[in-house]
Structure 1
Amino acid sequence: MLKVLNLLTLFLYLVLSLNLKAQSSDSLKEERPQLIDIFKNATFHGHIRNFYMNTINRGDLKDYYTNASGGAIGFTTGNFKGFEVGVKGIFTYKTFGSDLGVEDEVTGKNAKWEYELYDVLNKGNFRDLDRLEELFLRYRFGNSYLSYGKFETEFTPLLNHSDGRMKPFAHRGGWAHLNFNSKHQVNLGWLDGVSPRSTTEWFGMDESLGLFYNGFQPNGKMADYHEFYPSSGIGILNYNFRKDNFKLNFYDFYQDKVMNTIWAEIGYNLADFNFGVQYVYQNPFSFSEDLSYVNRYVQPGENGQVLSSQLSWGKSGFNLALGYTHAFDTGRFLFPKELGRDRFFTSISRSRLEGLGNADVFILKAAYHVPKPDLHIGIEMQQLQGPETGKFEFNKYNVDESFQINSHLSYRAHGFLEGLNFNILWIYRRNHNHTDAQSIFNKSNFNQLNFVTNFNF
């Protein structure tokens, strides 16, 4: 009996010893990072989107409508000693709608806005509309990071995501986000490529400028500057400062061979009020002087200057804002439409300041947020004064003075449907002076309905 107990004791000792060694080995394995861990800890994200758009032109002009469906799927690895890799693809296709290529009988033109849900550089393609939107390597340290590749940059008031179509702007290059503390942040970027909104291909900065409509030169001649600037890229310097009720944002955009743009913005909160001012100054580089007049993006001596201000009041879910922007007569305010959209206090959907000088913009905005349900209602009324059709010195796209109303309604679901949201945007725009068919078709004197359904995950 004693021998049996001794044998059992020895057996238990051996089992416990082996088990403890195995646990110790497993602990070491758990503590030692492995390549497979970055995939086990990876995250998926993306969205599914449906976009219905209907432009209703003046009674005697043709209307257009379309419905686009699609989505995006992104994958970001787990963090491995600060490093992570991300990739994201996006796709779109036309589910139904009118024939966007049918010409209006009066003007001889076809659809405009509806094509922007697909590929404006390959009109008529409604199926093969996929794009590699992100492919980057990122290194994180503290609250800062360094990125290289194709990615969504930090927001700037000129170069931005502008996710108002099926495909937003995407950029390629290097980016450093330096978050020193809650008061000071710095962003540094050098971008050498872009995939513009409503397109599927990637372009270098030397070929992206002028991909879209080039407009007019100040002397009235049609501009033609596409592929005349061998620009190596655009550099961005951004400094943000926050303290108590005060904020300061400073940006410098250095567009190689083209121009430099300085954007300064301050804001101050006092009780329920907020006051903000934006100032922009542009300086062209000497490279344009060696080009023919019609091939220049910006003319020598043009110094775009803009002053924009806003006073807003908000309380108990209600917000009211008054905004005013003045573009000086020192030159046109210019920034490539292929890179982003300007975000002045008076900029709204379907109406931007780019291309204008010697102009005034007034805006009144009102919005109300209902917490339960999560409902947001808003209206924006904008008045544009100063531009004269047929006079191109400060009017790159030959637009008329106009009045515009944007009304929007958005609802965000919670609970079981978390991630689902609906957005309705109704736009009405009219010219003040010129209302002939050629002047207004798909530009003004129209109503437009945008109904967007998103499911974000």
Structure 2
Amino acid sequence: MKSIKVTLHTLLILTSHVHAEVSWGTLHGQIRSYTMVEDNQDPLRDYEATAIGGKLLYQTPQWRNLQGTIALYTTHFINDNVSTQSIEPLASNKNSRYVVGLVDSTDYDASSVTKIGEAYLRYLYDKSSITLGRMKLDTPFVNPQDGRMLPTLEQGIWATSVFMSGWSAQAGYINAFWNRNTPEWKSVEDSLGYGYEMGMSALDTTVAGNYYNNTSSDGLFIGNLRYETKSGFRLDMWDYYLENIFNLGYAEANYSHSMNGVDLSYGLQYIDERQSGDGGNGEDNLNPTNALRAKSYMQEGEKSKTYGVKTALKYENSKLTFAYNRTTDEGRFLFPREWGKEPLFTFQKRERSDGSGNCHAWLSTLEHNFAGQGLNGLDIILGYGEYTKTDPKQWKYNKYGTPSYAQWDIDIFYRFGGMLQGLKAEYLLVRKVARGETYQLAGASEYNFIFRKNGMTLHNFVLNYDF
């Protein structure tokens, strides 16, 4: 029997009268409580934990177009069964994939992480800005992905501008990351594989990826151009250039309009990715030994293409969406999951498409806001997805050896009002089952294609108090 503990009373005591707006600036932040239960199919081990933490952010007043910000982030286990001893012998002694991320995915025995996450100076002029330092970006591929306790944060320079009617642009250079649920900042090249699995090389069924601390890159360059009209059309074009490793181009077009009281929307997306430079390790990428070539993030000549389409209709407080994504057989779609969740139309919480090629994905979601039923603040999102992949042992198209699977999500949100204004609760239920080959024979004790990948139910209960 598993229990989910609620720390609402503690949150309210800790946050009483904290918010302040005075002549010397603004102080605000968030206190976050997260309980997660990772319920794996029998006879595999289960994991559970409750963590509490959040952030405290101070922003200076604006002075001659300049403004500074600094923010402290922290997370602490208050109850958990995660440790270096809590391994699963039926799956090559692997450990928790999800619960460990509430504190430190690089150390199963860690109980807390605290660090300065944001520290930047921003210059604002008219409809433009330039930010220098440590910041929190939100782009299609580089984003906070804060589905745990600590978000992903970036160090570098970032500029934004609205330069004519309907047109805007943003661009920047990143030289370091604080990967989500890890304890320290890393250079861009050393952040690859830090705190996350590296999967298998595309070259050989017996060679694991080995690019952590073995790649070379001068940083990540990002650029975006957006055009949108008042008639409901928007076009976004992005480019992510990871020097010496890859270049990824991303385009997304959306159009929405109303007809007979129904809001209709349509979307298209396209991703083109190609290996650049020497893939991250020039000394070994052309070596005839596959084990040495696996030290590169991308192999010589690797590339991929991904397409997506979606349509949605909204009537009053309900919205129904259908989406499809296809990655072709040219290669595996790759983007460091250390840096953010993916913008694919078929993305569902708690899983990624990174590492998959020659695959299909379908997703249907139903969203409803209960304001019409007198329940202000209550929202529910139901999702069902089917993800058809190649055989999990075909590493050329399946970096992490993930069988085809189906996933159900139930996501319930409630925003409190009155004296509890600022408090938001979320309960997320995720169920994943295998659809493809798992190589699990009758009586076998081999669960490597099940554990951490499917055959699981995840319970997530989150309380956020923003002040």
Does the alignment reach a TM-score above 0.5? yes
- Pairing 1:111–2:111 present: no
Alignment of 1:33-432 (within 5 A): 40-100=23-83, 101-104=85-88, 106-107=90-91, 108-127=93-112, 129-153=113-137, 155-181=138-164, 183-211=166-194, 212-218=196-202, 219-220=204-205, 221-243=207-229, 244-271=231-258, 272-288=263-279, 290-292=283-285, 293-371=293-371, 372-432=375-435
Q: TM-score, normalised by structure 1?
A: 0.89
Separation (CA, whole Å) in 2 of partners of 1:435 and 1:63: 21
Partner of 1:20: none
TM-fit CA distance, 1:39: 7.3
What SS does structure 2 have at the residue aligned with 1:150? Answer: strand
- Pairing 1:443–2:453 present: yes
Separation (CA, whole Å) in 1 of partners of 2:189 and 2:39: 37
TM-fit CA distance, 1:442: 2.6
Letter in 2 for 1:148: L
Letter in 2 for 1:303: K
Separation (CA, whole Å) in 1 of partners of 2:223 and 2:346: 24
Instruction: Point out the more displaced range, 79-88 or 199-208.
Output: 199-208
What SS does structure 1 have at the residue aligned with 2:448? Answer: helix
Separation (CA, whole Å) in 1 of partners of 2:448 and 2:398: 17
Structure 1 segments unaligned to the other structure (5+ residues): 1-37
TM-fit CA distance, 1:199: 1.0
Partner of 1:434: 438
Partner of 1:22: none
Q: TM-score, normalised by structure 2?
A: 0.87
TM-fit CA distance, 1:284: 1.1
8 Å CA contact retained: 2:101, 2:148 = yes
Aligned residue pairs total 418
Residues 272-325 of structure 1, C-alpha deviations (whole Å, 9 max, x = no match): 110001100012113236524222211222211100111111121101000000
8 Å CA contact retained: 1:431, 1:445 = yes
Residues 227-258 of structure 1, C-alpha deviations (whole Å, 9 max, x = no match): 23221110011011110210000000010110
Task: Give me the identity figure in percent.
Answer: 26
Separation (CA, whole Å) in 1 of partners of 2:353 and 2:428: 20
Q: CA RMSD in A?
A: 1.6
Runs of 4+ in 1 over 4 A off after TM superposition: none
8 Å CA contact retained: 2:243, 2:277 = no
TM-fit CA distance, 1:443: 1.9
TM-fit CA distance, 1:207: 1.2
Residues 370-413 of structure 1, C-alpha deviations (whole Å, 9 max, x = no match): 23421110111110113211111111111100001011100001
Structure 2 segments unaligned to the other structure (5+ residues): 1-20, 286-292, 441-446
TM-fit CA distance, 1:217: 1.1
TM-fit CA distance, 1:105: 5.0
Separation (CA, whole Å) in 1 of partners of 2:102 and 2:267: 33
Partner of 1:8: none
8 Å CA contact retained: 2:278, 2:300 = no
Residues 336-367 of structure 1, C-alpha deviations (whole Å, 9 max, x = no match): 12211211100111221110110000111111
Separation (CA, whole Å) in 2 of partners of 1:264 and 1:88: 33
Letter in 2 for 1:72: K
CA distance 1:230–1:103, shift in 2 (3 Å): closer
Q: Bigger radius of gyration, 1 or 2?
A: 1
Residues 22-55 of structure 1, C-alpha deviations (whole Å, 9 max, x = no match): xxxxxxxxxxxxxxxx972411121000000001
Separation (CA, whole Å) in 2 of partners of 1:139 and 1:163: 26
8 Å CA contact retained: 1:39, 1:78 = no
Separation (CA, whole Å) in 2 of partners of 1:389 and 1:206: 28
8 Å CA contact retained: 2:82, 2:99 = no
CA distance 1:135–1:39, shift in 2 (3 Å): farther
Separation (CA, whole Å) in 2 of partners of 1:138 and 1:79: 9
Higher relative helix content: 1
CA distance 1:181–1:45, shift in 2 (3 Å): farther
Letter in 2 for 1:379: L
Partner of 1:24: none
TM-fit CA distance, 1:151: 0.5
